[in-house]
């Protein structure tokens, strides 16, 4: 495809600066919203969704934000003896505080060297890790120090949130995920950070009933504490960092994921003991995967108490679009 790519680039070159302006696309989309979606490389269905549920001004903010370069962000390991010094130095280098221990930088401005050592060396030594700013903010906004203990991370992935909680001193007693390879990444991360890794088990969070493939079952019938659900989602809040989602996801994918999220939430609520907490999180901007999932759980169960709900402000200039809710099981 070398000749095809070369021809495409030459055709684009002949257009000059035109494609860099929104007016260039007027001939292809007369409607202002569709023209903006074309300019920012966002499928029509996403732009129309955001316009309908959030309003035109917020929609345009989200379109612009999805097209900007992502801000790199690190999370300082609060348990490390050099944590305070490193965080202060990162802030002095122009970083912006994020959450409890995060520091974000504008694209291209993160320092190569901090406190006379390369930043990568601080990571290798377990003093900090890379974690998206939106993820850190969502976790902090729900006040993990107030969650009932212990915590089960039932959609753990590679363990970014589990490791952040362990660094804060939270008692994460179990991690599970349907992908075993991701759980191996969690163990490696804990070893690098000098943390004791919690037990891990390969299990699908949406299958609570006993029987069948043991690797596809949550490993217990009851949980007294907190269940953390960072559920699989469409990822519409991470378009700047994961541009492939623009073409990979469609409305049918959202419907499939929403059904999976509902099963996961229902299974976790059944296992959770009264007095415990359920934390529901996504990195998407779609009511069907966020507010409506919480509303459906509340309609299905009279003992659901919503303690807090947070979403990245639409007007925030660069942070990923995250959603998080903290629920308590009454009784």
Give the pLDDT confidence score for residue 216 in this predicted structure: 59
Buried b (16+ CB within 10 A) or exposed e, 141-165: bbebeebbeebbbbbbbbbbbbbbb
Which residues are catalytic, by number?
Answer: 283
Q: How much is the mean pLDDT over the chain?
A: 94
Q: In angstroms, rounded to a whole number, what is the distance separating the alpha carbons of residues 134 and 16? A: 36
Q: In angstroms, rounded to a whole number, what is the distance separating the alpha carbons of residues 309 and 89? A: 33
Digit-coded pLDDT (tens) for 155-177: 999 999 999 999 999 999 999 99
Q: In angstroms, rounded to a whole number, what is the distance separating the alpha carbons of residues 18 and 272? A: 57
pLDDT > 90: percent of the chain? 89
Q: In angstroms, rounded to a whole number, what is the distance separating the alpha carbons of residues 52 and 47? A: 9
Tell me the mean pLDDT in the region 230-244: 96
For residue 321, the tally of other CB atoms under 10 A from its CB is: 26
State pTM to two decimals.
0.92
φ, ψ dihedrals at 174, nearest 5°:
-160, 140
How buried is 226 (Cβ within 10 angstroms: 0-12 exposed, 13-18 middle, 19+ buried)? buried
Per-residue pLDDT band for 77 (boundaries 50, 70, 90) equals very high
277-282/323-329 β-pairing: antiparallel
Digit-coded pLDDT (tens) for 168-218: 999 999 999 999 889 999 999 999 999 999 999 999 998 644 444 545 566
Closest CA relative to residue 132, chosen from 267, 17, 262, 242: 242
Closest CA relative to residue 271, chosen from 213, 325, 226, 230: 226
């Amino acid at each position: 495809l070398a000749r095809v790519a070369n021809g495409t680039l030459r055709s684009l070159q002949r257009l000059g600066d035109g494609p860099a302006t929104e007016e260039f696309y007027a001939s292809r989309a007369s409607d202002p919203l569709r023209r903006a979606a074309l300019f920012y490389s966002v499928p029509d269905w996403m732009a129309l969704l955001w316009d309908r549920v959030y309003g035109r001004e917020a929609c345009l903010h989200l379109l612009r934000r999805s097209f900007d370069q992502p801000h790199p962000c690190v999370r300082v390991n609060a348990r490390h003896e050099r944590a305070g010094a490193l965080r202060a130095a990162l802030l002095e280098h122009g970083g912006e505080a994020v959450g409890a221990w995060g520091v974000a930088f504008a694209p291209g401005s993160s320092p190569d060297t901090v406190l006379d050592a390369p930043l990568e060396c601080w990571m290798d030594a377990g003093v900090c890790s890379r974690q998206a700013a939106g993820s850190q903010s969502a976790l902090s906004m729900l006040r993990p120090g107030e969650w009932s203990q212990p915590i089960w991370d039932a959609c753990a992935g590679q363990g970014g949130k589990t490791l952040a909680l362990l660094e804060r001193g939270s008692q994460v007693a179990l991690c599970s995920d349907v992908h075993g390879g991701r759980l191996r990444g969690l163990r490696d991360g804990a070893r690098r950070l000098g943390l004791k890794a919690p037990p891990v088990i390969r299990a699908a969070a949406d299958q609570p009933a006993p029987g069948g493939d043991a690797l596809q079952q949550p490993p217990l019938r009851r949980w007294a504490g907190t269940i953390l659900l960072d559920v699989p989602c469409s990822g519409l809040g991470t378009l700047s960092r994961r541009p492939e989602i623009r073409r990979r996801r469609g409305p049918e994918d959202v419907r499939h994921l929403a059904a999976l999220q509902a099963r996961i939430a229902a299974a976790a609520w059944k296992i959770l003991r009264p007095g415990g907490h359920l934390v529901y999180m996504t990195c998407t901007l779609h009511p069907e995967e966020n507010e409506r999932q919480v509303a459906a759980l509340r309609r299905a169960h009279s003992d659901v108490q919503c303690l807090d709900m947070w979403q990245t402000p639409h007007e925030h200039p660069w942070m990923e679009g995250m959603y998080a809710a903290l629920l308590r099981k009454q009784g």
